[in-house]
Amino acid sequence: MSKIQRKHILFAVLLFALVVIIAFAGMHFAFKPLSNSVTIDGLQTAAEETDYILVKFDDAYFEIQGTIEFSTLFEFDEWQQQKEEPTGEPVLVLRFAEAWIVEFFAEGTVTAHNGYASGGTKQDACYVIPSHVADELIAYIGTHGIRHELGDGTISASTFHK
């Protein structure tokens, strides 16, 4: 076998190994469980128990405390997980903690993101929800929330970014 043939075989073996590694990495990611914080149960617990939830809708900013009454408005029993991410701009954004953001979209979809999820779990989840939920949450927050202004020491330009 010539030196060139050995190089071609070595290259083919290395290329095959790289493809196998990439395939296994992709399968590992596809089968990771969701981080508890972005599951329906985790989000329901957060909506009931989080003391300090920051909120953005339109050009308004609020702070609200999680309660069972607030959590009921989400209608979590109607949520269905989906693979497709929503498009466009969210109509409502909730920040439960630093890097833990939930975005509601007009067409009745939600994305949940926890930037601090453990490496063995997925940090993002998407859901289809009843289309009226975001409007009901906005109305509730507008009535029960504490209003804030951008730059007031609580809300900054980066507060609601993933």
Instruction: Give 111's contacts (C-beta < 8 A, 6+ positions apart).
Output: 85, 86, 90, 102, 103, 105, 124, 125, 126, 127
40 and 97 housed in the same domain: yes
> Do 55 and 133 have their domain in common?
yes
**Distance (Å, whole) CA 136 – CA 123:** 26
Q: Which domain does 50 fall in, by range?
A: 36-148
Distances (CA, A) of 2 to 14, 24, 72: 18, 33, 73
- Residues 19 and 40 placed together within one structural domain of the fold: no
- Mark whether 137 and 64 lie in a shared domain: yes
77: phi then psi, degrees, rounded to nearest 5: -65, -10
Tally of CA atoms within 13 A in the half-sphere of 141 that contains its CB = 29
| Backbone dihedral angles phi then psi of residue 81, each to the nearest 5 degrees | -70, 145
pLDDT of residue 28: 42
Residue 35, number of CB atoms within 10 A of its CB:
22
In a domain, 162, yes or no: no
Would 140 be classed as within a structural domain?
yes
Residues 26 and 41 in one domain: no
The domain total for the chain is 2
CA 5 from centroid of its chain's CA atoms: 50
**How confident is the prediction along the chain (162 residues), in pLDDT tens digits per residue?**
676 666 656 665 555 555 445 545 444 445 677 777 889 999 999 999 999 999 999 989 999 999 999 999 999 999 999 988 898 999 999 999 877 899 999 989 999 998 877 678 788 899 999 999 999 999 999 999 999 998 898 888 888 876
Tell me if 62 sits within 8 A of 55, measured CB to CB. yes
Task: Say whether both 22 and 51 belong to one domain.
Answer: no
Give me 85's structure tokens: 């991410």
Residues 66 and 25 in one domain: no
What's the pLDDT score for residue 161? 77
Res 10: pLDDT: 60
Do 25 and 66 lie in a common domain? Answer: no
35 CB contacts (<8 Å, ≥6 apart)?
A: 42, 114, 117, 118, 121, 122, 123
Q: Please tell me the pTM assigned to this model.
A: 0.78
- 157 within domain boundaries: no
Residues 142 and 76 in one domain: yes
Mark whether 50 and 111 lie in a shared domain: yes
